[in-house]
Amino acid sequence: MKGIQFVIDDQGQKTAVVIDLKQWGKVWEEFYQILLTHISNNEEWLHQSPLQEKLDQALEWNANHPPQVSDLAALEIQLKNYE
């Protein structure tokens, strides 16, 4: 999908995702609100100040840093060189 990039570890496993907030910001905000709405008592840690602050900082950072475009063909060649 355009505007969504995955961070992949050394084993090729997806470990994180980067979302273009200019393109997907509204969807992210809706998802984030749904997530907060459905938190059970066992997940109260999501509302604790340090995590909330980190989520807010990550959202702000993503809004201020445009995504980088990767040349997938070049990355594939690099990965094959490591095999």
DSSP state, residue 18: E
- pTM value? 0.42
Q: Into how many domains does the chain fold?
A: 1
DSSP state, residue 44: G
CA torsion angle 39 45 50 53 (round to 10): 0
**Residues whose CB is less than 8 angstroms from the CB of residue 7 and which lie 6 or more positions away in sequence, other chains included:** 14, 15, 16, 17, 18
> Could you list the residue range(s) of the whole structural domain that residue 77 is in?
4-82
The one-digit pLDDT tens for each residue of the chain (83 residues) are 789 999 998 898 999 999 999 999 999 998 888 877 776 545 666 666 777 788 888 888 888 887 777 788 888 888 888 77
Report the sign of the C-alpha dihedral through residues 30, 33, 39, 44, in that order.
Answer: positive
